[in-house]
Amino acid sequence: MGRCPQCGEWNSLVETRLAAPDKSGRAISQTKPQKLSQVKSIKRARMRTGIKEFDLVLGGGVVPGSVTLVAGEPGIGKSTLMLQFVAQAGKSSSCLYVSGEESIQQIKIRAQRLGLKNQETLFLTETNVDSICTQMSELKPKLAVIDSIQTCWTSQLSGTAGSVGQVRESTAKLLKVAKQEGMPLFLVGHVTKAGAIAGPKILEHMVDTVVYLEGERFGAARLLRATKNRFGATDEVGVFEMTDKGMMEVTNPSRLFLRERVKKVPGSVVVATLEGTRPVLVEIQALVVPTTLAIPRRISQGIDYRRLQVISAVLTKQLKLPLATFDIYVNVAGGIRIDEPASDLGVALAIISSFRGIPLDPKTVCFGEIGLLGEIREVSQTAKRKKEAKKLGFTQVISPENFTSVNQVARKVFFKK
């Protein structure tokens, strides 16, 4: 049935396999409750993957027996990253890479393009999850990658591969083997445009760690972000650059994001933001032009649209800018998304700069949250941000430390009063 006869909702029915009932009808428990003091503590050595940014996001390496979901939109580079990953990890131990999406030949072509040399890793093209589990228990690899979980299916359910029931059941089976063998397992999952159905969202509670690979499709920057981690913090972000040689680690993200900056043009402002615990400088661009519409346009890329509306409202009120008759476009260069309120001041200055047609000093960097009354609010990690700015040759900092309101900054910077 595609539609629930009770509530009328479409595609809400999920196929589930029933466990065979015990003959006596009484469950016999093999495990007994115990005190923590009775539990033997074992030290789990983390395995280094050889890709530093990946280790960072995982919390310092791969934990034995952990299950990690690597999620992202199709074509963003998940397979590329995982292939590089097994090639690195495969240098010291045996890995298993199961692909349900590409043929062995395709994988070989990709490996050649990426220049990966690796003797130990075994490749398998298989989608039947029961066969995959058998292979995993027999081969006992040090690590396994399943690309992707949406292609896995079991004959115990009748739904097609990729349906919620199949994805969930397949994950449960793989999880069991991984925990039994103490083998780290990586599941690749596609984020579907349509939303949560059959996407990685339904798996998030089953796995230990969830990392998202994100970025603008046509930009080169890729961010690897942990949204859940049972073995580490979730505030670290790995930065990569997608090239024809694969995903390259970016040790200095600010350089990548400021690479194409045009200096001394109105509407461009450099902001010191934080990605995880790491300071990153990015360029915010604004374009303010007279509107031809009754309701002016507000278009944003890389920052929250509502944030842009709030900031333009504040500027209209506090600086008496007639923004109601202007369209505003705001873009974060380099295809990165900033959700941090510390970018507010950058957005505001970029808008004023474009509106007034006055460029900012190219050696200026700014950060600070803007309140509804136009006040500039404190943000965390001020020292780190300033240090990064100094390292990249910026000499002037506009921050909550030296300005209290956006009005004050505008007067100082654009009106020279």
Ligand X SMILES: Nc1ncnc2c1ncn2[C@@H]1O[C@H](COP(=O)(O)OP(=O)(O)O)[C@@H](O)[C@H]1O
DSSP secondary structure letters along 301-351? ESS-HHHHHHHHHHHHHHS---GGGEEEEEEETTS-----GGGHHHHHHHH
Determine if 79 is a binding residue for ligand X (CB under 6 A): yes
Binds 115, which of ligand X, Mg ion, none (CB < 5 to 8 A, cut-off by type)? none
**For residues 120-149, which are near ligand X according to CB under 6 A?**
none
**For residues 90-119, which are near ligand X according to CB under 6 A?**
113
**For residues 52-91, which are near Mg ion according to CB under 5 A?**
79
CA distance 241 to 225: 14
Binds 22, which of ligand X, Mg ion, none (CB < 5 to 8 A, cut-off by type)? none
Measured from the CB atom, the residue of 112 and 134 that comes closer to ligand X is 112
> In angstroms, what is the minimal distance from the CB of 399 to Mg ion?
42
Residue type, 145: V
**For residues 87-126, which are near Mg ion according to CB under 5 A?**
none
Preceding omega of 66 cis (within 30 degrees of 0): no
The residue within the footprint of ligand X, chosen from 44, 74, 134, 339 (CB under 6 A), is: 74
Determine if 80 is a binding residue for ligand X (CB under 6 A): yes
Burial 240-254 (b: 16+ CB within 10 A, else e): bbbeeebbbebeebb
CA distance 100 to 91: 23
> In angstroms, what is the minimal distance from the CB of 337 to ligand X?
18
Determine if 244 is a binding residue for ligand X (CB under 6 A): yes
> In angstroms, what is the minimal distance from the CB of 147 to Mg ion?
6
Among all residues, whose Cβ is closest to Mg ion?
A: 79
Contact 72, 225 (CB under 8 A): no
Measured from the CB atom, the residue of 116 and 342 that comes closer to Mg ion is 116
Contact 146, 152 (CB under 8 A): yes
Contact 244, 382 (CB under 8 A): no
Measured from the CB atom, the residue of 113 and 263 that comes closer to ligand X is 113
Measured from the CB atom, the residue of 78 and 278 that comes closer to Mg ion is 78
Give the footprint of ligand X on this chain (CB under 6 A): 72, 74-80, 113, 242, 244
